[in-house]
Every structure is written in structure tokens, then in C-alpha cells.
Structure 1
Amino acid sequence: MPLQTTEAIVIGGHNLGEADRIIPFFTRKLGKVRAVARGARRVRSRYGGTLELFTLGQLVFFESPNRTLHKINEFSVMEPFAGLKADLGRLGRGAYLVELAGASVEDEEPNEEIFLLLRDALTLLVLYDDPRLVRSFEIRLLRIVGYLLELYRCLVCRSVLEQGAASAISPTRGGLVCLKCLPRAPDHMSISPESLDFLRSALHGGLEQSLASPLSHPHTTNLQEVLKVCITHFFGKRLRSVAFMSLVE
């Protein structure tokens, strides 16, 4: 069995038998990878607490041919992101980020851009427990996986929607609909001009830059609902961590 080495983030884990655990990672080279940690649940396990959720490390594993479940040889911690477990707000948002990243690719579908986005988002979340960071992550992830929301023109009549114009978003159409065309987009959701401005800036700036974009609480809530529906439509399911994150936001 050939050895593979790559940076990886722990995005989950569940027990296998009496002593082992299956750990899903989001890796830099290979995308989402699942691997068995033999003896991880034993008192004197060589892994200790290294395979905790969110941990960034250097993963070495034996690649099983023709299988999607591999065997961990070594996992060296680079950054545990311990601050994400310090309070419920960070824990809820962090759990959502790793679940969303994992849901965005099939097993062993390489996507370095998503890995880097997730790594940067977890790094910032330790410093800033801010819902704007999550919203920026969502819109950027949707762009990476090919669900680029149209944020400048009405998708029905193609008219340009200037800054401050009232509008709505249709998840099935994939973006904005002007007020005149709302009857032709029955699934539309209202989006405030402030929320739309934030989306536009978040799409073109970095994650940290989005934290400087003004967005008051009512507009944060509006944007959260809009993106939740868009993500559910794109992935065809509601992520399990959404309910927990909603409780702590």
C-alpha cells in the first residue's frame, strides 16, 4: 500500500469496533479522505488528543487500492484550533464550516481552494466570533463549487440592479430578481440592500476584509436565512450542524 502525505483538517469522526475510529479529513492534496485510526480509543493510544475536530496537521496514511477507507500511519499536529472549543458560538460555527466544506466535494475529489478557504476561516474564527465570517465563507464556497449567485442583474429581465435597489433572490434561478419580475420567481426571498452590498464585497475581497464590512443584526439575520435556503437548494439537503449554529448565533 503506497504512503500519501498531505496537510489535513479533521472534519469529523466516529467509532469503529471497540478500539478504533474512522476519521474524515479535508486534505490539501486529495480533498476529502476517510481513514482508520487503529487503537485510537485505547487509554494509551499513540494518537492522544491529536485527532480532535478542527485539528490541522500533517497526515501520513496508507492508501488502500480500490477503496475509499485508508489507514492512518501518522498525524502530526500543526494547529489544534483549541480556541474553537472554548465557547459554544465558535464551536457551532466551526462545526458548520467543516461540515459545509465536507459536503461540497465527493470523497477524494481534490480541491485545494476549499482546503485553503477552510483553513483560513478556522484561523480567523479563533480570533473573531463573528457571523459575518460564516456568511463570507458560504458565498465564497458556493462560488468555488460552481453555484455563483448573480448579484448584479435580474435573472428574468436582465436589468442592472444598482446599489441600494430593492430586490430579492431566487435560489432556483441562482440570483437576483427585480421587484417587477417577482411573479416569475415564486421561490424568491427578500434581501435587504445592506445584505446585498455585503455579499458583493465578500465575493471579491478576502475573508478578513468581510469583517470590516458593516452589517447590522437584522441584516445579518436576513442574509443568514437567504444563504441557508440557497445552500439547501444547491446541496439538496439541510446540513445537520445548521440547527446547532442557529441556536448559538
Structure 2
Amino acid sequence: MAICKAEALVIRKFDFRETSIIVEFFTREFGRLKGILKGIRSNPKKFGSTLEPFSCNEIVFYRSRNSEIHLVSQCDLRDNFLEIRSDLKKINLASFFMELTSALLAPEDKHEEVFELALSCLKDMSLAADPARIINIAQIKLLKLSGFKPHFDSCVLCDSKIDEYAKFSTAFGGLLCFKCAYRDSNRHAVLKGTVASIRHIEKSDWQNSQRLGLSPLVKEELDMMLNRFVLFHLEKKLKTARFI
């Protein structure tokens, strides 16, 4: 077994037998992985963290060649994001984003850009007056980085430029032009402001995307479109989605 060290965000944890827990981590160095912490329930002081969901930790683990679950020998807390934990809405949004990250990424596939995105999202959401806006922006960037990005640059079917008329197709995964709209009977109209906002967020870095103003109508439409898109293409409903 190789000894590895990683910066890790906690996605979820669950009890294992009488004294241990299994934790799903999202790490900077190794992507998404599972680790077992033996004896932590009988002796919580054995590790330097209680491993709360979406907390940031530094872990040392023995990487197994024969199992998807690795033995964690050391865990030290870096950031517990206390400002998020004092606000139920922020807790639900952070939990949703971590579950979405888990659903979109394959196990043990390194995604350092996504890790940086998740860390920036949690840090900015800690002090944000409008945490839902932070999650909207992070969700758009996550879909792009993970390869699930809806197509908003042109018509998803014929690649023609779209200026005024725009319909969104969840099934085809993008915008439809006037000529192609008939191909999806469940298409729906989308505001120009929503399309422009998504394009801006996709092309901007994290800090610049935070400066974008989102009207209440655009935010409402973003929520609807993103949630429908994720549900359709993941073919399952995220457990945390009902709380946001």
C-alpha cells in the first residue's frame, strides 16, 4: 500500500460497524475517493477532525490496490466553514453542491479545477448575502468542467447562430433554433438574459463571474433549467435537491 497525502473536502460519511466510519472525500490530488477511519466513533480524539460534510481536511491514507476503500491513518481539519453551518439555507446549498459534484465525477479521477471551484464556492458562500446565486454560478461552471455542459453557443442540432428566438431542450442538452424547435415537444422558451448570463459565466473566471448581476427572473429560470437538465441526464434525483 502506498502512503498518500491529500487536501480533501468531505462529501458524505456513514457509520461502519461499531467503531468506524466510511467517508467519501473529494480530494485535490486524487479526485473522489472513499476512506475508512477505524475506531473514530469509540475514540473521536484519535483524529484531528470530526469530518463534517463539506469540511476541508488534510488526510493521510494508505492507498489500496484491491479495494475502492482506502485506510485513513490521519485527518486534520483545515476549515469547517462555520459561517455556513450557522445558516440552514447555506447548509442545504453546500450539501447539494457536494452531492452534485459526486454525481458528475468518476471515482479517483483527478479534477483539480473542480476542486478549486468547490473550495472557492464554499469560501464565498460563507459570507454571501445571496448564497443561492453563488450556487447557480458554481453549478454552471461545474457542468462545464465535468463535461456535462448544456450547449448555449448555437443551435445544438444544426449549429446555426441564435440571436432572438431561443428554445431550450433538456433532452438534446441545449438551445434550439426556430427551424429545429419542432424536434422536441417539451422545449421551452428561455430569456435572452438567461442565455447571456450562462455564456458570461462559462467564459469568465470565478472572480469575474461573481460580478455578474442576475435578475430575479433570470435566477428563477436558471434554477428551473439547471435542475431539469441535471435530473434528465443523471437519470436520478439528488437527495439534497428537495431542500433547496
TM-score bracket relative to the smaller structure? over 0.9
User: How far, CA to CA, are the matches of 2:158 and 2:5 in structure 1?
Assistant: 51
User: Which residue in the other structure is 2:206 paired with?
Assistant: 207
| Alignment of structure 1 residues 6-155 onto 2, 5 Å | 6-42=6-42, 44-47=44-47, 49-128=49-128, 129-155=130-156
Q: Distance in 1 between matches of 2:67 and 2:225?
A: 38
- 2:75 corresponds to which letter in structure 1? F
- Provide Cα deviations, 1:13-70, integer angstroms capped at 9, x if missing partner: 0011121111110011111111111122225432264311111121101112210011
Distance in 2, matches of 1:109 and 1:43, equals 32
| Cα shift readout 1:148-195 (whole Å, capped 9, x = no counterpart) | 322131234433123xx2412112222111244321122323221121
Moved over 3 A (4+): none
Distance in 1 between the 2:20 and 2:71 partners? 11
Tell me the amino acid that sits aligned with residue 152 of structure 1: D
The gaps in structure 2 that reach 5 residues or longer are none
Secondary structure of 1:12's counterpart equals: strand
Aligned length: 243
Partner AA of 2:82 in structure 1 = A
Name structure 1 gaps, 5 residues minimum: none
| Equivalence for 1:228 | 227
TM-score by length of 1: 0.91
> In the alignment, what sits opposite 1:185?
184
In percent, how many aligned pairs have the same letter? Answer: 26
Q: Distance between the aligned counterparts of 2:82 and 2:8, measured in 1?
A: 16
Asked if 1 retains the 8 angstrom alpha-carbon contact of 2:13 and 2:24, the reply is yes
- 3-state secondary structure, aligned to 1:13: strand
